[in-house]
Amino acid sequence: MGIIIRHGKIWSKNQWFIGDLLIEKGMIQAIEQKLDNKNHLHQVIDAKGKIIIPGLIDIHVHLREPGFEQKETIETGTKAAAKGGFTTIFAMPNTNPVMDCPDLITFLKEKSKALGYVKVYPIGAITHKQEGKELANLLGMKKQGAVGFSDDGKGVQSTSLMIKAMETAKLLDMPIIAHVEDHHLAGKGVIHMGETAKQLQVQGIPSEAEYLQLERDLMLAESTGVHYHVCHVSSKESVQLIRNAKAKGVNVTAEVTPHHLLLTEKDIQPPYGHYKMNPPLRTEEDRLALIEGLIDGTIDVIATDHAPHTEDEKQRGLLDAPFGIVGLETAFPLLYTHLVMKKLVSLEQLIEWVTRKPAEIFGLQVGEIAVGLPADLAVIDLEQSKSVDPVTFASKGKNTPFTGWNLYGWPVMTIVEGKISWEQEVENRYA
């Protein structure tokens, strides 16, 4: 028995098609105007008025397990992903112990696969314990299924170590996924070094902390030829550096988060902890440069940097709260409501940045809807509106600055390899 999804507006091969879609054995078997359901063999789902798009892909997620299960677990994090319309995520290695060895890569792959909510690809650490002192076992982690290497949460301060990391990753044909941050320049800063930091009399993090290390890395990426991916770009200077590097043919790709696209330092308000993330929210000029960078292809994809923390930790206030906000369960509605509905970008562009593009830059065989491909799908109701309520999150992390925002474009069903992984109707029934 398979599934027929009827009357949906399907995004397939770069165009919209209104009709039926048949899923069997985990694969998309047919897309036609009308499919009949002989002998009622298949489960039928009515998707009239909804769009059916490739399952969303988030290449930057913190699942926190092992070690920080009070913030999130593989189970709650992958459930949150499914609820957000995601079918594939990359998990960052800043766990405890740090994912810096083959066994931990295997642990994450096996546990997430057994749970089955979404496909999880581990990112291994660049350096042993993310201490920035010696390279981790990159080859061993690749063999167990790591898709890239990152010391996310920290910048790699040592230039010589970064050269070694890039040379090794290049040999292994693996990407370096870089959190760029000069720790001396960032100092004890908590938000962007700008107007709001002045008003609140707190130390700021200058844009230089990001873009000077990025400039170093881009030169090294050019000389080593490695695929260098920049995490959570936040400043206009970084956008320009990436633009220039791409024009020179450097093998660089980049991501931006929904919060850096939609918020600035001016939005920072109590509870301050919910506006504290790394890199910080910057200025309106930076925000506009990020949108421009996306549109002109300088920035390739949108990734959430889903970074759950406990409410206790976040209530410690601006100075003492940890950096990071959640993102999986609000990403698509936020971007749809505030970029597409405001006509800054098209729906089709948005879909590209969260499906086909991330698959393309990391060589994944997902991100498209077509007959013969795995059935990884998100069904989305563009007309459904509701306000963000963290109490309803599947994630343990309730740390979002978007509480109360009224948004359109909520996922109603997520299908992973032909199985319904999350369904709004079922959840509502038991709520």
Ligand X SMILES: NC(=O)N[C@@H](CC(=O)O)C(=O)O
> Hey, which residues are catalytic here?
305
Q: Are 32 and 19 in contact (CB under 8 A)?
A: yes
Q: Which residue is nearest to Zn ion (CB)?
A: 179
Residue number with CB closer to ligand X (29 or 95): 95
> In sequence order, what E strands does 265-309 have?
301-302
Determine, following the binding rule CB under 6 A, whether residue 89 of this chain makes contact with ligand X: no
Q: Which long-range contacts (CB under 8 A, 24 or more apart) does 355-359 make?
A: 355/53, 355/54, 355/55, 355/56, 355/57, 356/54, 357/300, 357/301, 358/57, 358/58, 358/59, 358/88, 358/300, 358/301, 358/303, 359/57, 359/88
In the complex, least distance from residue 62 CB atom to ligand X, rounded to whole angstroms:
5
Judged by beta carbon distances under 5 to 8 A according to partner kind, the member of Zn ion, ligand X, none in contact with residue 324 is ligand X
Judged by beta carbon distances under 5 to 8 A according to partner kind, the member of Zn ion, ligand X, none in contact with residue 277 is ligand X
Instruction: Give the separation between CA 298 and CA 288, rounded to whole angstroms.
Output: 13
Here's the x/- map for ligand X, 167-186, by CB under 6 A: it reads as ------------x-------
Q: Which of 65, 286, 300, 305 binds ligand X (CB under 6 A)?
A: 305
Q: Are 370 and 27 in contact (CB under 8 A)?
A: no
Residue number with CB closer to Zn ion (105 or 413): 105
Which has the closest alpha carbon to 309: 5, 93, 70? 70
* Phi/psi-derived region of residue 4, left when phi > 0, alpha when psi is between -120 and 50, beta in every other case: beta
Residue number with CB closer to ligand X (124 or 324): 324
Determine, following the binding rule CB under 6 A, whether residue 94 of this chain makes contact with ligand X: yes
**Helices and strands in the chain, H and E counts:** 16, 17
Here's the x/- map for ligand X, 274-293, by CB under 6 A: it reads as ---xx---------------
In the complex, least distance from residue 308 CB atom to ligand X, rounded to whole angstroms:
8
Total count of residues recorded for the chain: 431
Determine, following the binding rule CB under 6 A, whether residue 213 of this chain makes contact with ligand X: no
3 state SS of 26: coil
Determine, following the binding rule CB under 6 A, whether residue 65 of this chain makes contact with ligand X: no
Tally of CA atoms within 13 A in the half-sphere of 230 that contains its CB: 34
In the complex, least distance from residue 31 CB atom to Zn ion, rounded to whole angstroms:
36
Tokens coding 84: 């957000």
In the complex, least distance from residue 339 CB atom to ligand X, rounded to whole angstroms:
21
In the complex, least distance from residue 323 CB atom to Zn ion, rounded to whole angstroms:
8
Q: Which of 58, 152, 300, 376 binds ligand X (CB under 6 A)?
A: 152
Q: Which of 30, 240, 323, 341 binds ligand X (CB under 6 A)?
A: 323
Q: Are 123 and 147 in contact (CB under 8 A)?
A: yes
Residue number with CB closer to ligand X (265 or 423): 265
Q: Which residues bind ligand X (CB under 6 A)?
A: 62, 94, 152-153, 179, 277-278, 305, 307, 323-324
